[in-house]
Protein backbone atom coordinates (compact mmCIF):
# COMPACT_ATOMS: atom_id res chain seq x y z
CA UNK A 1 0.00 0.00 0.00
CA UNK A 2 1.08 3.58 -0.69
CA UNK A 3 0.36 5.64 2.41
CA UNK A 4 -0.90 9.06 1.35
CA UNK A 5 -1.53 12.46 2.94
CA UNK A 6 -3.65 15.30 1.47
CA UNK A 7 -2.66 18.87 2.36
CA UNK A 8 -4.89 21.74 1.20
CA UNK A 9 -6.57 24.63 2.99
CA UNK A 10 -9.74 24.24 0.88
CA UNK A 11 -12.03 21.35 1.99
CA UNK A 12 -13.61 20.91 -1.51
CA UNK A 13 -10.14 20.42 -3.00
CA UNK A 14 -9.24 17.85 -0.37
CA UNK A 15 -12.51 16.04 -1.02
CA UNK A 16 -11.85 15.94 -4.77
CA UNK A 17 -8.43 14.33 -4.26
CA UNK A 18 -9.82 11.98 -1.60
CA UNK A 19 -12.65 10.74 -3.83
CA UNK A 20 -10.38 10.08 -6.81
CA UNK A 21 -7.73 8.47 -4.63
CA UNK A 22 -10.31 6.05 -3.22
CA UNK A 23 -10.75 4.55 -6.70
CA UNK A 24 -7.24 3.09 -6.67
CA UNK A 25 -6.78 0.23 -4.17
CA UNK A 26 -2.98 0.69 -4.05
CA UNK A 27 -3.36 3.91 -2.05
CA UNK A 28 -4.46 4.31 1.54
CA UNK A 29 -5.22 7.70 3.10
CA UNK A 30 -3.45 8.37 6.40
CA UNK A 31 -4.82 11.86 6.97
CA UNK A 32 -5.68 15.37 5.77
CA UNK A 33 -4.21 18.74 6.76
CA UNK A 34 -5.21 22.35 6.16
CA UNK A 35 -1.73 23.89 6.02
CA UNK A 36 1.92 23.02 5.56
CA UNK A 37 2.93 23.40 9.20
CA UNK A 38 0.29 20.91 10.31
CA UNK A 39 1.44 18.49 7.60
CA UNK A 40 5.11 18.66 8.59
CA UNK A 41 4.18 18.06 12.24
CA UNK A 42 1.94 15.12 11.34
CA UNK A 43 4.55 13.48 9.12
CA UNK A 44 7.05 13.48 11.94
CA UNK A 45 4.64 11.22 13.83
CA UNK A 46 3.01 9.42 10.91
CA UNK A 47 5.42 8.86 7.99
CA UNK A 48 3.88 8.26 4.58
CA UNK A 49 4.92 7.59 0.99
CA UNK A 50 3.08 10.32 -0.91
CA UNK A 51 1.76 13.82 -0.21
CA UNK A 52 -0.70 15.81 -2.30
CA UNK A 53 0.33 19.36 -1.51
CA UNK A 54 -1.32 22.69 -2.28
CA UNK A 55 1.01 25.66 -2.83
CA UNK A 56 -0.79 28.70 -1.44
CA UNK A 57 -1.68 27.94 2.18
CA UNK A 58 -1.52 29.81 5.51
CA UNK A 59 1.19 29.26 8.13
CA UNK A 60 3.57 27.38 5.82
CA UNK A 61 3.06 27.27 2.06
CA UNK A 62 3.47 24.14 -0.01
CA UNK A 63 6.91 24.95 -1.39
CA UNK A 64 8.28 25.67 2.07
CA UNK A 65 6.74 22.47 3.39
CA UNK A 66 8.19 20.47 0.49
CA UNK A 67 11.68 21.78 1.23
CA UNK A 68 11.35 20.61 4.82
CA UNK A 69 9.96 17.24 3.75
CA UNK A 70 12.84 16.77 1.29
CA UNK A 71 15.29 16.63 4.19
CA UNK A 72 16.04 12.98 4.85
CA UNK A 73 13.82 10.22 3.45
CA UNK A 74 10.78 12.38 2.81
CA UNK A 75 7.68 11.32 0.87
CA UNK A 76 7.07 11.82 -2.83
CA UNK A 77 5.17 15.06 -3.50
CA UNK A 78 2.46 15.92 -6.02
CA UNK A 79 1.61 19.62 -6.03
CA UNK A 80 -2.07 20.45 -6.54
CA UNK A 81 -2.65 24.13 -7.31
CA UNK A 82 -4.63 26.56 -9.46
CA UNK A 83 -1.47 28.44 -10.47
CA UNK A 84 1.05 27.32 -13.08
CA UNK A 85 3.64 29.94 -12.09
CA UNK A 86 5.05 27.68 -9.36
CA UNK A 87 5.97 24.79 -11.68
CA UNK A 88 9.70 25.49 -11.86
CA UNK A 89 10.26 25.90 -8.09
CA UNK A 90 8.06 22.82 -7.57
CA UNK A 91 10.36 20.61 -9.61
CA UNK A 92 13.41 22.14 -7.98
CA UNK A 93 12.23 20.34 -4.83
CA UNK A 94 11.86 17.14 -6.92
CA UNK A 95 8.08 17.03 -7.18
CA UNK A 96 6.67 13.90 -8.80
CA UNK A 97 3.97 15.85 -10.60
CA UNK A 98 2.21 19.22 -10.78
CA UNK A 99 -1.58 19.01 -10.99
CA UNK A 100 -3.39 22.16 -12.07
CA UNK A 101 -6.91 22.71 -10.77
CA UNK A 102 -9.38 21.85 -12.12
CA UNK A 103 -8.16 18.45 -13.28
CA UNK A 104 -10.12 15.48 -14.59
CA UNK A 105 -9.97 11.82 -13.63
CA UNK A 106 -7.65 10.90 -16.49
CA UNK A 107 -5.08 13.53 -15.53
CA UNK A 108 -5.28 12.46 -11.88
CA UNK A 109 -4.71 8.82 -12.78
CA UNK A 110 -1.62 9.79 -14.76
CA UNK A 111 -0.29 11.55 -11.68
CA UNK A 112 -0.93 8.41 -9.63
CA UNK A 113 0.99 6.33 -12.18
CA UNK A 114 4.01 8.64 -11.82
CA UNK A 115 3.66 8.45 -8.03
CA UNK A 116 3.67 4.65 -8.08
CA UNK A 117 6.88 4.67 -10.11
CA UNK A 118 8.53 7.15 -7.73
CA UNK A 119 7.50 5.26 -4.58
CA UNK A 120 8.65 1.91 -5.98
CA UNK A 121 11.97 3.47 -6.93
CA UNK A 122 12.40 4.85 -3.40
CA UNK A 123 11.58 1.43 -1.97
CA UNK A 124 14.20 -0.17 -4.19
CA UNK A 125 11.63 -2.05 -6.26
CA UNK A 126 12.49 -2.39 -9.95
CA UNK A 127 9.75 -0.94 -12.19
CA UNK A 128 9.23 -2.19 -15.71
CA UNK A 129 11.47 -0.43 -18.19
CA UNK A 130 9.56 2.10 -20.32
CA UNK A 131 9.38 1.57 -24.04
CA UNK A 132 11.85 3.68 -25.96
CA UNK A 133 11.38 5.16 -29.43
CA UNK A 134 13.35 3.35 -32.14
CA UNK A 135 16.75 4.80 -32.93
CA UNK A 136 16.26 4.59 -36.69
CA UNK A 137 13.70 7.40 -36.79
CA UNK A 138 14.64 10.86 -37.98
CA UNK A 139 15.82 13.12 -35.10
CA UNK A 140 13.31 15.76 -34.05
CA UNK A 141 13.90 19.36 -35.13
CA UNK A 142 11.76 20.86 -32.39
CA UNK A 143 10.04 19.83 -29.17
CA UNK A 144 6.47 20.54 -28.12
CA UNK A 145 6.07 22.20 -24.72
CA UNK A 146 2.61 22.13 -23.15
CA UNK A 147 1.52 24.41 -20.33
CA UNK A 148 -1.90 25.52 -19.13
CA UNK A 149 -3.76 26.87 -22.14
CA UNK A 150 -0.60 27.04 -24.26
CA UNK A 151 1.31 24.84 -26.67
CA UNK A 152 4.59 26.20 -27.98
CA UNK A 153 7.73 24.86 -29.63
CA UNK A 154 11.44 24.88 -28.87
CA UNK A 155 13.91 24.25 -31.68
CA UNK A 156 16.27 21.42 -30.77
CA UNK A 157 19.22 23.46 -32.03
CA UNK A 158 18.48 26.12 -29.39
CA UNK A 159 18.86 23.70 -26.47
CA UNK A 160 22.12 24.03 -24.54
CA UNK A 161 21.67 21.13 -22.14
CA UNK A 162 19.01 19.02 -20.46
CA UNK A 163 18.75 17.82 -16.87
CA UNK A 164 16.39 15.42 -15.15
CA UNK A 165 13.90 17.00 -12.73
CA UNK A 166 11.82 14.29 -11.11
CA UNK A 167 9.50 12.93 -13.78
CA UNK A 168 10.14 15.96 -15.98
CA UNK A 169 13.10 17.25 -17.91
CA UNK A 170 14.42 20.79 -17.58
CA UNK A 171 15.54 22.16 -20.96
CA UNK A 172 18.08 24.99 -20.76
CA UNK A 173 18.14 27.37 -23.71
CA UNK A 174 20.18 30.49 -22.99
CA UNK A 175 18.47 32.33 -20.13
CA UNK A 176 15.23 30.39 -20.61
CA UNK A 177 14.19 27.12 -18.99
CA UNK A 178 11.38 24.86 -20.20
CA UNK A 179 9.78 21.87 -18.46
CA UNK A 180 9.08 18.79 -20.59
CA UNK A 181 7.19 15.72 -19.41
CA UNK A 182 9.38 12.94 -20.79
CA UNK A 183 12.00 10.45 -19.66
CA UNK A 184 15.69 11.04 -20.25
CA UNK A 185 15.97 7.80 -22.25
CA UNK A 186 13.12 8.73 -24.57
CA UNK A 187 14.42 12.23 -25.23
CA UNK A 188 17.92 10.91 -25.89
CA UNK A 189 16.47 8.56 -28.50
CA UNK A 190 14.62 11.42 -30.21
CA UNK A 191 17.50 13.88 -30.42
CA UNK A 192 20.26 13.90 -33.04
CA UNK A 193 23.08 11.70 -31.58
CA UNK A 194 25.68 13.67 -33.55
CA UNK A 195 24.69 16.85 -31.72
CA UNK A 196 23.37 15.74 -28.34
CA UNK A 197 25.35 13.48 -26.06
CA UNK A 198 24.28 11.77 -22.87
CA UNK A 199 27.15 12.56 -20.49
CA UNK A 200 25.50 11.51 -17.22
CA UNK A 201 22.44 9.55 -16.22
CA UNK A 202 20.66 12.87 -15.57
CA UNK A 203 22.32 15.09 -18.22
CA UNK A 204 22.26 15.53 -21.99
CA UNK A 205 24.38 18.27 -23.56
CA UNK A 206 24.52 19.96 -26.95
CA UNK A 207 28.14 19.29 -27.93
CA UNK A 208 28.26 22.56 -29.87
CA UNK A 209 27.98 24.36 -26.53
CA UNK A 210 31.00 22.62 -24.97
CA UNK A 211 34.04 24.87 -24.68
CA UNK A 212 36.47 22.45 -23.04
CA UNK A 213 36.84 19.28 -21.00
CA UNK A 214 38.88 19.04 -17.83
CA UNK A 215 39.78 15.77 -16.07
CA UNK A 216 38.43 15.02 -12.62
CA UNK A 217 39.01 11.88 -10.58
CA UNK A 218 38.44 8.20 -11.41
CA UNK A 219 37.98 8.84 -15.13
CA UNK A 220 35.29 11.50 -14.86
CA UNK A 221 35.56 14.85 -16.63
CA UNK A 222 33.94 18.24 -16.25
CA UNK A 223 32.41 19.68 -19.41
CA UNK A 224 32.61 23.48 -19.37
CA UNK A 225 30.06 25.16 -21.60
CA UNK A 226 30.52 28.45 -23.42
CA UNK A 227 28.54 30.30 -20.75
CA UNK A 228 30.74 28.87 -17.98
CA UNK A 229 28.28 26.22 -16.80
CA UNK A 230 30.07 23.09 -15.57
CA UNK A 231 28.57 19.64 -16.12
CA UNK A 232 29.92 16.27 -15.08
CA UNK A 233 30.95 13.88 -17.84
CA UNK A 234 30.65 10.48 -16.16
CA UNK A 235 33.18 7.76 -16.93
CA UNK A 236 30.28 5.37 -17.57
CA UNK A 237 28.82 7.52 -20.35
CA UNK A 238 32.21 8.65 -21.66
CA UNK A 239 32.82 5.18 -23.04
CA UNK A 240 29.75 5.36 -25.28
CA UNK A 241 30.56 8.77 -26.80
CA UNK A 242 31.80 9.21 -30.35
CA UNK A 243 35.52 9.97 -30.72
CA UNK A 244 35.07 13.68 -31.38
CA UNK A 245 37.34 14.62 -28.48
CA UNK A 246 40.01 12.17 -29.52
CA UNK A 247 41.26 8.93 -28.01
CA UNK A 248 42.93 10.69 -25.09
CA UNK A 249 39.82 10.70 -22.94
Residue 159, pLDDT score: 95
DSSP 155-180: EGGG--EEEEETTEEEEEETTEEEEE
Rounded Cα distance, 97 and 117, in Å: 12
How far is C-alpha 67 from the chain's CA centre? 15
CATH entry 3.40.50.300 includes domain 142-245: no
Torsion-angle region of residue 44: left (phi > 0), alpha (psi -120 to 50) or beta? alpha
pLDDT per 10-residue tile (average), the chain, 249 residues: 92 94 92 89 87 87 83 80 80 80 89 86 59 58 79 90 87 91 86 88 91 79 91 78 49
Domain-wise residue ranges, the chain:
2-123, 142-245
Q: 2-123 and 142-245 share one CATH topology?
A: no
- What is the CATH code for 2-123? 3.40.50.2300
CA nearest 4: which of 40, 39, 48? 48
CB within 8 Å of 219: residues ≥ 6 apart:
235, 238
CB of 3 within 8 A of CB of 50? yes
Compute φ and ψ for 134, nearest 5 degrees.
-65, 145
Residue 134, pLDDT score: 45
Angle at 43 between CA 41 and CA 48, to 5 degrees: 170
Residue 247, pLDDT score: 46
Rounded Cα distance, 195 and 186, in Å: 16
CB of 157 within 8 A of CB of 144? no
CB of 166 within 8 A of CB of 91? yes
Amino acid sequence: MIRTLIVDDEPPSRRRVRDLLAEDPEFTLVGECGDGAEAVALLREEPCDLVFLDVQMPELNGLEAARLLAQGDGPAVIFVTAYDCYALPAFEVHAVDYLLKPFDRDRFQKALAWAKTAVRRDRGEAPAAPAEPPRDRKPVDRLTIKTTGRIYFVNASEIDWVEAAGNYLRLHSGPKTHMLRETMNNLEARLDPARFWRIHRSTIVNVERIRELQPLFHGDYVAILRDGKELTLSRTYRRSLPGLFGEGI
